[in-house]
Every structure is written in structure tokens, then in C-alpha cells.
Amino acid sequence: MPSSTSAVAPKSTESWHAPSFRPEDINALISGVDRYNPHNVSLLEDYLDVQIKDGQHDCFANLAILKLYQFNPNMSNAKVVIDILLLALVSTPTIDSPDFSLAQSLALDRPSQAMLKQQNYDDEDDAAGHVDEIETVMPYLQKLWALLKECKFREFWNVWKSDKSDGAEVIRSQYLPNHNHAVSSLRLLIATTIASSFSSIQTSRLQKWLDLDSANEVSSFVEGLNGWTVQGDSVKIEGNGDNDVKAGVVKEQVELSRESRWTDQVVTEHGQLMPTILCHCRVDEVDLGRCAVR
Amino acid sequence: MSQAFYDDPESLLPEPSAYQPATSADLDQRQGQYQEYIDEHGLTGAGVPQEDDGEEERERLEGLKSALEQVPDEVKKFIQSFHQAILNNDTPSILSMYESGWNRITQQYYSNEEWPEGEVVAGLVGGDQLFLTLYRELYFRHVYAKLEPNVDDRFQSYENICELFNLLLNSEQPVPLDLPIQWLWDMLDEFVYQFQSFAQWRSVVKNKSEDELAMLAENPQIWSCYSVLNVLYSLVQKSQINEQLVAEKNGSSPEEVAEIAGDYGSKPLYRNLGYFSLICLLRVHTLLGDPTLALQTMQNMDLSNNSLLTKITACHVTTYYHVGFAYMALGRYPDAIKIFVSVLIFFNRMKQYHTRSYQYGSIAKQCERMYALLAVCTTLSPGPSDDGIMNTVKERYGEQLTAMQSGKEETAIPAFRELFLGASPKFLSPVSPPYEDHDSLAAWVSEPPQDALVRQTDLFIQNVQVQLGVSTMRSFLKLYTSIDATKLANFLDEDEDTVLERMMSLKSASRSYGHKQGEGSLLDGERFVTNNLDFFIDGSMVQVAETTTNRRFAGFFIRNAENANRVFETIKNAPLPIPRSAQSGGSGQQQQQQQQQRPGGAGGQRTGGQGKGPGGAGGAPRTGGVARAPGTSPWAR
């Protein structure tokens, strides 16, 4: 893990809907009507391969692939769909990010499998051997995703490594070998989740949750993260706005300039009136500066 | 926004004398014109075949002629003056005929049947193609709204609307037509509605007649997703609406915007069609289960209270409903709540002017759905919100709220499911059953794909299910300022790791991304804390931090300041008092004069709540200054 990694939830959605690594041509493609052109699907599929190779995730570009499949079921490529779902699952920026749901929403909008078999039969004469891989892996992926959302990390790793379902076998044998970054992305995701709740955590617990084999591995993992330090038998996590919250008081703020026209009149025409009213109402949080400027 | 509803549209209708019953001489004359017209041009109305094969054609013309004779005179007259108004681009007359004339005649003559067909009335309007497509647009809308559309209606309405858009988009120069924005919105709104209705009808393979099956097999392009999106995107591109909106946002002058807009986009007709097409795209993408694309198409749109979309209530409500729903699908519940609340406040304030509108029912229904969605969203992401709206939610969905908040799977999930099913848009799938291939169709019927609405509901329930335990944890934490996780584990009868896992889940449920109005696109958002109750864990010690809210004074302040201002205005506008002793005789007259002037002075103040930020119900400026003013002036008595 590179030393500059931060396990903090992104402050804004920009890196999600417009990631900095997205190439210009892909950006132009998915923000125009060209995204409906079936001929462009290979460009997007190639980009998906790059993402998988580099351990990155461009949710919107991948949704554009699924959109094309949704409109043109004959083009749909089960392998690509599963790659997208798996990538959305392991590379989501936070566990509350909707990446996996969005991908499901489009990926599962597909015609009946009987019909596809029928058509495949027409084309290739091997209807009998056709297995709907998406249907096979879906329950497994959904289970993994639910465990992540519920933060049941111990069980998650258990299912990740040793689930016996057909879907799990398919994912492990055919997909994970290509998704080299899957495990490190998942650990980062879990670390991000932990960091938003904990200011310090027992090393042994961290080890279980991250599925690391020894305390040494925990140390080297922690060293790679900004603001994480091992202290005795626990790991300290630097304050990030979420793990150092304080009780506070919310003060009411009203932008008078937007409320109605009387504000400027009251202030500019008869400055005397305003203090009287203020006093009367005991309003202590009105931004008079803004009011007067306006 | 309100202007159109204050004016009585009926008053804009031509004087009743213009509707004098036609004498038989008139009638003969008109038929003479019609006959003349046919003699000269043949029938060139849209959809009318032009081949001239003797007997059959003559019979057909006879048929049309006698059909026209059946049409009541008042209707003929109406169609002619409607046509005339459109030819003259006489917008006020068009608006009044569109909004009230058409409905009045519908009620009187066509409450249970179709209006006369386009070909029948073609002669009345000189075969004006453009008018006839507009007429048919209204004709089919009436069929969809009041009657049961049959397969022919569905196909023909598609062909007609495409013809209309073709006329507009493929003309060599902008069509010099100016229609009220209300109509343009309704037209596109109806376009999406009919698409949705067709897609639903098409997805049910059973109970289709031979004819219907054959027509569906031969015409897969009718109401296909690609063609509908094509129309909408073409309107967007022709009008350069996105470029225009960007330029406006960047503060370009109207001239600069017009230049960017080009020949077409600078015409109100094209600009408005393009603008409403963006909203229709939002809708279509939401229906197809793609909320990110839905919000993406709206990225240059201004949703604030001054934007064009708020000028038409139906458009305002539809836009906000779909934007809110898209946020919900992204799990951004606070954004969804904000959007729903703001439009509901607006609607509650406007509805008194609206009960007469024929769309009132459907708008009210959409608002009803938003209350249900609010119940769902506020359960998933509790936080401060508008009290008035939330009271309505509690009144209507109290039972479901209790069930959803119980945190018990067997009671909560059915309640979530019920509300979501009833309140979500009617999702659809872009793919048609394979009507063109008999074997594939049989395979389709034997194993139909999952219904789009059910699929989306299941997805949503997946999201809800993982959050169920959260509310229990939250109510536990409320009791402490700090507590050891082991102790909490004992209470909950769970092991410590499980409790900590649930805490992290609670943490993630109380964070979201929030959009700031006027900043960036709708997809932009900053991470923020959604709930008053927050915590962090130090080792195994849970430290609770609850944020309290000060009492709110602003609403009170604003009301009083406004009241004071009103008093001041009244005083300022009142004439100076004249010493009583000097004018003992004339004082009565003087007082009278004062009273006449005063309403005028007070009337110069605001007459309605303008420019309200969403959620700001507390600060509603009072109206009614006119009535109160005389009593508050010390000189009044």
C-alpha cells in the first residue's frame, strides 16, 4: 500500500461522479448523446479493463455500459456485467455510496432468460449448455454487499474466502484472478469505515476486521495509512471530523436578503426601527452585517 | 407563477356574440367553402392518403362531409377561431381557448366520446397541417384522459406527435409559432405519459388480439425508448438549451445568450420545448431506473424559486418529485427530504388557486406520494425538518411510521414496501417482448422478466434491510453521554464486536452528501452529519455527543419586522394631519380623503410571499396588509 493513502470518506461527491483519472474522451462520451451509440461500447469496456487493472473505479462510465446493455440486450456480455458489479462492490468509496445498487438497478433490467436461451439456441445450437452466470453470482454478491453495509466485517471475510455457493466458486475461480486490487480496495474501504467511528481501536480487533494474518501485518498496514499509528496494543486514528465529534449547539441562521424585500428598506431608510425590533424579539443570531450590506 | 390563475381565463374569450348560432345560410356557405377547398386542393391533411381512385375516394369524402355535418356549430366555430388565434400568434386567446375553451366544449359535447377526427375538421382550417397536428395532440390527450385508448389511438398519437416534432425540427427555418408555455409543458408531459402507458400496455403479452399482436410485431419502433429519447434529445440540441442555461448561469447578457442559442433556440417556442425536454429526460431516466443519468441531464438547470419550471405548477411538482426520488435512489435522503418539503410547502400555498385546473387531481396525487416518500426518508434519515409538513406526514402515515420505526423486520419491511410501491414512479423496462418472433415470444411468456416496479422495490428493500437495527442503537445511545461497549453488549445481549459493528453501521447511516442549492450540479454534494445524535469510539468506550438546537426566533422576528414595516408604510403614506381647530368645518371631508388614499398606499406593498428558500416556512411573510392597515394608523379615527 502506498504511503500516501488516506482512509477518510471523501468530503464531496465530485471524486465520485467526475473522478480525476477519467480520460477526456470517456468524459465527452458519457456526457453526450453518444453514450447511446452501441458502437461505443468497446471503448467503455476497454476503459473498464483499465480500471480493474489499476484498482480504480469510475462508477458513471460503467453505468454507461450497463445502459447500453439495458437498451440492447443482445449486446449484453455477462462477463462485463459481473466485472462491473464486482468492481462496484469492492471499490465503492464508502459503504453508504450507492455504486452497487445503481449497477444492480440497470444490470438486472434484462429480458427473460428463457428468451435469451431461445435466441442463443437459434444462433449457436448450444442452448443446453448455456448457464446464466449473472443469475448464479448475484445472490453471492448481494450477500457480500449486505455484510459490508452492515459492517459485519468478520462474517464478510468468512463468506469472501470460504462460501461454498456456485456463485462464490465462479467469482473466485474466474473473476478474482483479474481483480488484483480487490482485497486491498476492500481493506481500505473497511479502514475508512472504522476511521469514521473510532479514535482508537484494539490491534487484535483491527486484525480480525481487516482479515490480516498477524500483528506485524497490521503494523505494516497501519504504517501505510495517513494519521494511523500503533500505540501499544491499540491503533490511534487521527481526528478526521467523524471520529472526534463534540456536542454542539445549532444556532439558527437566516439569510434575510433572501427572505423578502423589506430588509433593505428597514435598514437603509430608517435605521432606528431595526434595533427596536431586535430588542423586542430577543433575536441574537440574525446576521445584521449581511442585512446591511444588502 | 400565480398570475395566470388570478386572471379569469374565461374573460379572455371572444364576446358571447361571436358564438351566435350559425344560420342555415352560414352553414351552406361554410360547406361551400369546404367543398371548394376539396375541389381545389384535394385533401392534404396529415394522414389522408392522396390517391385518387374514383368511387372509393368519393365515398370517403362523402363520409367526411356527413361527419362534419354532425359536428355542432359551436364546436366548428371554436375550432376555426382556435385556428385563427394560432395563425395570428395571438397568445392570450390561444391560452384562454387552450385552458378553458377546450375544456368547456369537452364537457358540453365530448365528455364521453372523442372530438371529431382530424380529417373531419381539416376542411374547417384549410388543411393547415401544423394546426391539425396540434389539434390531434389535444384530441389524443382527451382520449387518454377521459376514454380508453385502443391500439389505433396509441399508434396514431405516436405518429402524430412525431409528425409535429418533425415539422418543428426539420423546417428550414424556425417555425413562426408561439404557444403558451403551459401547452408546451403539457404536450411534452403527455408525450412521456403516453410512452409510459404504451410501455406498460406492451409489456403485457396476454389478452392481446390478433390485430394488436400483428401491429406490435410490425412496428417495434413505435414508442420505443430510443425514439422517445431521440425526440427529447433532438429538442434539447436544436434549442441549445444546455448552452443557454450555462451562459445564463455565467451571467451572460440576454444578447449573448441569444447568440449562443442560435436561430432556433432564441425563439421562445424552441427554447421552452428544449427546457421542458430536459425535465422529461429526468423523468424518463428515472422511470428506467437510472437516477444518476436523470440528475445528470438536469445539471445546468436552476431549481430555485425563480426558475421557469416553477411557473407551471404541474411542471414544478413533477420536477421536484423526480429529483427527490432520484436522490432517494442514491441514498441521499436529506436531499430528497429538502426537495419534497420545499415543493409541498409551495403546493400548499398555491392550491387554493388551482382546484379548477384539470390537472389538479394528478398534481395532488403526486404530492400525496411525496408525503409517503417523506415518511420513508425521514425514517431512514431522521433530522430536523419543516414541522407543518411533518405533521401532515404523521397524520396520514402515522401507522406506517410506527411500523417502520419499530426496527423489527416483520413489521417494518412490509410498511416500507407498501409505501414505496404506492409512491414510486411507474418504473418500466425499455425492452419490448419479442412480438416479432413467435418462438421467442412463447419463451418470454413462459418465463417473463421480473416486473420493473417489483425489481426496484426489492432493490430498495435491500438498502432498508441493512439499516433496520440502526434506530434501536440510536435510541439506546440517547440515554448516555458515554458507555462502555461491553456494557452496551450486555444490554443488547450481543457480543462486543457485534455491537461495535452496529455502531459503525449507525455512523454510516447518519452521514450523507448534501447538495447546496445554487452550487454546482445536482450530483454535487458535501459530506455532512444528518442526525443530532453523534458519537465516537475510543477503544471500546463510546462517547456520545448530542447536538442541541437553540430555540428558533427568526420566524417571529421576520413577522414582527414586517408588521412594523407595514405600519411604517401606512404612516408614511397617510397625509399629514391637519390641526383640527383650524379646519373644523372641513375635517370630515379630509378624513374621507385619507381613507380613499390609504388602501392605495398599502396596496403598494408585497402581495404575496416571494423568494422563499426551501424549508423556510417559519418565515412566511404575512399578507393582508391592506385589510389591517387602516386600523393601525393613529390617524384612522
CA distance A203 to chain B (A): 10
Contact A114 B447 (CB under 8 A): yes
Q: Give B14's pLDDT tier (boundaries 50, 70, 90).
A: very low
Q: What is the dihedral of CA A121, A125, A128, A131, to 10 degrees?
A: -70
Restricting to B residues 483-502, those with a Cβ less than 8 Å away from any Cβ of A are: 497-498, 500-502
Q: Calculate ∠ Cα B525-B527-B528, nearest 5°.
A: 120
Beta bridge partners of B536: B543
**Across chain B, what does the average pLDDT equal?**
80
Contact B524 A248 (CB under 8 A): no
Nearest to B497 among A70, A154, A256 (CB): A154
Nearest to A13 among B447, B523, B535 (CB): B523
Which value does ipTM take for this structure? 0.85
**Mean pLDDT lowest among A134-138, B57-61, B109-113, B206-210:** B57-61
Look at residues B280, B268, B334, B320 and name the one whose alpha carbon lies nearest to residue B528. Answer: B334
Q: Give A1's pLDDT tier (boundaries 50, 70, 90).
A: very low
CA distance B550 to chain A (A): 6
Q: What is the pLDDT of residue B317?
A: 93
Residues near B379 by Cβ (< 8 Å), separated by ≥ 6? B401, B404, B405, B416, B471
Q: Give B477's pLDDT tier (boundaries 50, 70, 90).
A: confident
**Across chain A, what does the average pLDDT equal?**
83
Contact A115 B525 (CB under 8 A): no
Q: What is the DSSP string of A86-127?
A: HHHHHS-SSTT--HHHHHHHHHT----HHHHHHHHHHHHS-G
Q: Does B554 touch chain A (CB under 8 A)?
A: yes
Residues near B355 by Cβ (< 8 Å), separated by ≥ 6? none
CA distance B63 to chain A (A): 44
Restricting to B residues 286-315, those with a Cβ less than 8 Å away from any Cβ of A are: 288-293, 296
The grid coordinates listed for A288 are 445584521
Determine the Cα–Cα distance for residues B441 and B447; give it in Å rounded to an integer. Answer: 10
Q: What is the pLDDT of residue B109?
A: 86
Higher pLDDT, B296 or B579: B296
Nearest to A113 among B447, B520, B553 (CB): B447
Contacts 24+ apart (CB under 8 A), B510-514: B510/B381, B510/B534, B511/A9, B511/A94, B511/A96, B511/A196, B511/A242, B512/A96, B512/B331, B512/B332, B512/B333, B512/B334, B512/B335, B512/B381, B513/A12, B513/A13, B513/B332, B513/B335, B514/B332, B514/B334, B514/B335, B514/B338
A195-226 as b/e, with b when 16 or more CB fall inside 10 Å?
A: bbbbbbbebebbbebbbbeeeeebeebbebbe
Contact B225 A11 (CB under 8 A): no
Higher pLDDT, A282 or B57: B57
Q: What is the pLDDT of residue A164?
A: 92
Determine the Cα–Cα distance for residues B536 and B481; give it in Å rounded to an integer. Answer: 11
Look at residues B287, B370, B388, B292 and name the one whose alpha carbon lies nearest to residue B620. Answer: B388
Q: Residue B109: which H helix or E strand, with range?
A: helix B102-109
Nearest to A109 among B289, B505, B609 (CB): B289
Determine the Cα–Cα distance for residues B233 and B280; give it in Å rounded to an integer. Answer: 10
Contact B539 A234 (CB under 8 A): yes
Note whether A95 and A193 are within 8 A (CB): yes
Nearest to B233 among A33, A73, A151 (CB): A33
Is A56 a residue whose pLDDT tops 70? yes
Nearest CA in chain B to A231: B539
Note whether B542 and B488 are within 8 A (CB): yes
- For the beta carbon of residue B8, count every other beta carbon within 10 angstroms: 10
pLDDT tens digits, one per residue of B356-389: 566 788 888 999 999 999 999 999 998 878 888 9
Q: Give A69's pLDDT tier (boundaries 50, 70, 90).
A: very high
Q: Residue B391: which H helix or E strand, with range?
A: helix B387-405
Mean local confidence (pLDDT), B321-334: 95
Q: What is the pLDDT of residue B52?
A: 53
Residues near B629 by Cβ (< 8 Å), separated by ≥ 6? B566, B569, B570, B598, B599, B601, B602
Nearest CA in chain A to B225: A71
Grouping H, G, I as helix, E, B as strand and the rest as coil, residue B569 is helix
pLDDT tens digits, one per residue of B161-172: 999 999 899 888
pLDDT tens digits, one per residue of B512-553: 999 987 778 889 998 888 888 889 999 889 999 888 877 777
Look at residues B199, B185, B187 and name the one whose alpha carbon lies nearest to residue B227. Answer: B199
Is A175 a residue whose pLDDT tops 90? yes
Contact A11 B527 (CB under 8 A): yes
Mean local confidence (pLDDT), B589-615: 42
Q: Give φ, ψ of B541 to 5 degrees.
A: -100, 120
Q: What is the pLDDT of residue B478?
A: 87
**Which residue out of A14, A101, A112, A277 would a mutagenesis test of the B interface target, given it has the greatest number of B Cβ atoms within 10 Å?**
A112
The grid coordinates listed for B553 are 426566533
Note whether B135 and B102 are within 8 A (CB): no
Determine the Cα–Cα distance for residues B527 and B517; give it in Å rounded to an integer. Answer: 15
Which residue ranges form the domains of chain A, and what is each CATH number?
14-237 (1.25.40.250), 256-293 (no CATH)
Nearest to B444 among A98, A111, A208 (CB): A111
Q: Does B17 touch chain A (CB under 8 A)?
A: no
Q: What is the pLDDT of residue B240?
A: 92
Nearest to B449 among A112, A117, A119 (CB): A112
Look at residues B389, B346, B351 and name the one whose alpha carbon lies nearest to residue B371. Answer: B389
Mean local confidence (pLDDT), A53-78: 93
Higher pLDDT, B291 or B250: B291
Q: Does B616 touch chain A (CB under 8 A)?
A: yes
Q: Give A114's pLDDT tier (boundaries 50, 70, 90).
A: low
- For the beta carbon of residue A8, count every other beta carbon within 10 angstroms: 21
Look at residues B417, B324, B529, B333 and name the one whose alpha carbon lies nearest to residue A98. Answer: B333
Tell me the CB-side half-sphere exposure of residue B525, using CA atoms within 13 A. 24
Contact B507 A242 (CB under 8 A): yes
Q: Which residues of chain A neighbour B562 with C-beta distances below 8 Å?
A: 260, 262
Grouping H, G, I as helix, E, B as strand and the rest as coil, residue B538 is strand
Sheet holding B541-546, edge to edge: A228-231, A234-237, A198-202, B533-538, B541-546, B482-484
Residues above pLDDT 70, as percent of chain B: 81
Helix B151-169 and helix B129-146: axis angle, to 10°?
140
Contact A96 B511 (CB under 8 A): yes
Going through B380-492 in order, the beta strands assigned E by DSSP cover 482-484
Chain A / chain B CB contacts < 8 angstroms: 256
**Mean pLDDT lowest among A97-101, B195-199, B457-461, B616-620:** B616-620
Contact A252 B229 (CB under 8 A): no
Q: What is the pLDDT of residue A129?
A: 52
Nearest CA in chain A to B562: A262
**Mean pLDDT lowest among A148-152, A211-215, B614-618:** B614-618
Look at residues A261, A166, A288, A8 and name the one whose alpha carbon lies nearest to residue B608. Answer: A261
Determine the Cα–Cα distance for residues B565 and B571; give it in Å rounded to an integer. Answer: 10
Is A40 a residue whose pLDDT tops 60? yes
Q: What is the pLDDT of residue B19?
A: 31
Q: What is the pLDDT of residue A64?
A: 96
Contact A9 B527 (CB under 8 A): yes
- For the beta carbon of residue A77, count every other beta carbon within 10 angstroms: 12
Contact B501 A150 (CB under 8 A): yes
